Chains A and B, each alone.
Chain A
Amino acid sequence: MEIDITNLETEMNRGFLQILVLAALEQKMYGYKMLKFLEETGYTVEENTLYPILRRLEKNGVIKSEWDVSGDRPKKFYLITPLGRSMRKKALSIWGKQNDILKKIMED
């Protein structure tokens, strides 16, 4: 019997995607470009999932955005803020601890 872990994967990705976004936004990027960037690293995310997360992170002040209207069509660019860097550091620390705990349990 094949186990469906879609829900679990979605739950796990929820936090992980936020860390990924904070890591990726060291350089200015707009949504579509970020999707492609993440895809190149091997991580696939649905577009309708990414944008709401970007909006939530922006609302929390960890990333900021600005519209670039100079091209063919307007694009919304995102960039991490100092608060976001601080959050990313803490999030990576938590993630590291979680990994250590898991490794320890699995070794036992």
Chain B
Amino acid sequence: MYRNLENYLLEISHYLAVKEGAEEILAEIKSHILEKTEAEFETINEDNISKIISGYGKPQQVAAKYLEGFEIISPTFKRHLFLYTGILFVCHLGLSLIAFLFHSSMVGFPFLYIPDMNIWQFIFYVPMAFIYDLGLVALFLYLVTQKKREIRLPWPRLFAKAKPANELRKPRISFMVFLILIFLMFLYFFVQFGTIFFASMNNPSNPVPMFDRSASLYYSLLFLAMMACEVIGYAVRFISRSRLLDLIKNFVILILLQFVWNNPMKADFAEIPGVDLKNNMIAFILIITIVVAFKFLRSLISVGIQQFTLKK
């Protein structure tokens, strides 16, 4: 028994993922090495065997030669892997956002479980969701590859031809000025009256705030931060028109919206006869959330699909 030879064969066996005959392959390699050692050195010992082993090749390379033609995933599915992962991830992220914003969990046994998450859990969940989706698609393509039948997988043109992550439209100075003015106007309201939400402005010098003071402060600051994101996002376009920046901006706004949704309307609303201020406010925030979520997913598709499919 030669320890180095046994170790060498053992290591080859770790990489030798053949369905049958692995022991026979190892026996043949062993027989060959011993035969060659004897032929070249006359004496078989560990030192001489080591010299022959070094010429035979690294265990991984040796095993790889037996595995030619046995792909885990067919190379022809490479683009499918990234395209399907991109589509699945966008759906996954969309559902996660809904679960996150509405404080609910989702279960689609055995493939999907989205828990009720706080902001930090959500941030950590997103990359994990991507890895999970990649694994799920890889598993599917592995099974298809192992079937060894000619299976024609769908190639969704809608996503495959998704607009490439070309640059955003060129910014206009006039619109930039308009955005800044709007922001400054709301900032003025906030500084002047402690809120940007009003139930009535019939008396401009003394408008009626929509909520009590603490709620006004909370929601006004959040919405001012969102507006600041929009202004900064537009201003950055003068330097870079990358879609990735747009994606980041929308993500930040979604995070801010999460703080709005996670603090249900417990505010004391001003009372105006015939007007349901609370429901109007919820509808307003819902519309903003849908628009931002849509913009976020559109940016994600544009950047993600382009990154993972067309450039590969």
Name A's B-contacting residues (CB within 8 A): 30-32, 46-49, 51-52, 55, 73-76
A76 to B24 CA separation, bound complex (whole angstroms): 9
Known contacts A31-B28, A55-B21, A74-B27; decide if A49 and B35 are in contact (CB<8 Å): no
Q: Are A32 and B32 in contact (CB under 8 A)?
A: yes
Known contacts A31-B32, A75-B35; decide if A46 and B27 are in contact (CB<8 Å): no
A74 contact set on B, CB distance < 8 A: 27, 31
A32 to B29 CA separation, bound complex (whole angstroms): 10
Task: Tell me the smallest distance from the CB of B65 to a CB of chain A, in Å.
Answer: 4
A74 to B21 CA separation, bound complex (whole angstroms): 16
Name B's A-contacting residues (CB within 8 A): 21, 24-25, 27-29, 31-32, 34-36, 39, 56-57, 61-62, 65-66, 68
B27 contact set on A, CB distance < 8 A: 74, 76
Task: Tell me the smallest distance from the CB of B176 to a CB of chain A, in Å.
Answer: 56
A65 to B27 CA separation, bound complex (whole angstroms): 14
If A47-B56, A52-B65 are given as contacts, then 20 extra A-B residue pairs at C-beta distance below 8 Å, sorted by A number, are A30-B31, A31-B28, A31-B31, A32-B31, A32-B32, A32-B35, A46-B57, A47-B32, A48-B57, A48-B61, A51-B25, A51-B32, A51-B65, A52-B68, A55-B21, A55-B25, A74-B27, A75-B35, A76-B24, A76-B28
Known contacts A32-B36, A47-B56, A48-B56; decide if A75 and B31 are in contact (CB<8 Å): yes
Task: Tell me the smallest distance from the CB of B40 to a CB of chain A, in Å.
Answer: 11
Task: Tell me the smallest distance from the CB of A4 to a CB of chain B, in Å.
Answer: 19
A9 to B293 CA separation, bound complex (whole angstroms): 56
A96 to B65 CA separation, bound complex (whole angstroms): 28
A contact face: mostly helix, strand, loop, or mixed: helix
B21 contact set on A, CB distance < 8 A: 55
The 7 closest A-B pairs by CB, nearest first: A52-B65, A32-B35, A48-B57, A52-B66, A48-B62, A76-B28, A32-B32
A75 to B27 CA separation, bound complex (whole angstroms): 9
A52 to B28 CA separation, bound complex (whole angstroms): 11
Q: Are B68 and A76 in contact (CB under 8 A)?
A: no
Q: Are A32 and B56 in contact (CB under 8 A)?
A: no
Q: Are A51 and B57 in contact (CB under 8 A)?
A: no
A74 to B29 CA separation, bound complex (whole angstroms): 11
B36 contact set on A, CB distance < 8 A: 32, 47
Task: Tell me the smallest distance from the CB of A82 to a CB of chain B, in Å.
Answer: 23
Q: Who on chain A is nearest to B55 by CB? A: A47
Question: Could you say which of A30, A32, A48, A52 has the most chain B C-beta atoms within 10 Å of its C-beta?
Answer: A48
A38 to B62 CA separation, bound complex (whole angstroms): 20
A68 to B56 CA separation, bound complex (whole angstroms): 23
Q: Who on chain B is nearest to A58 by CB? A: B21
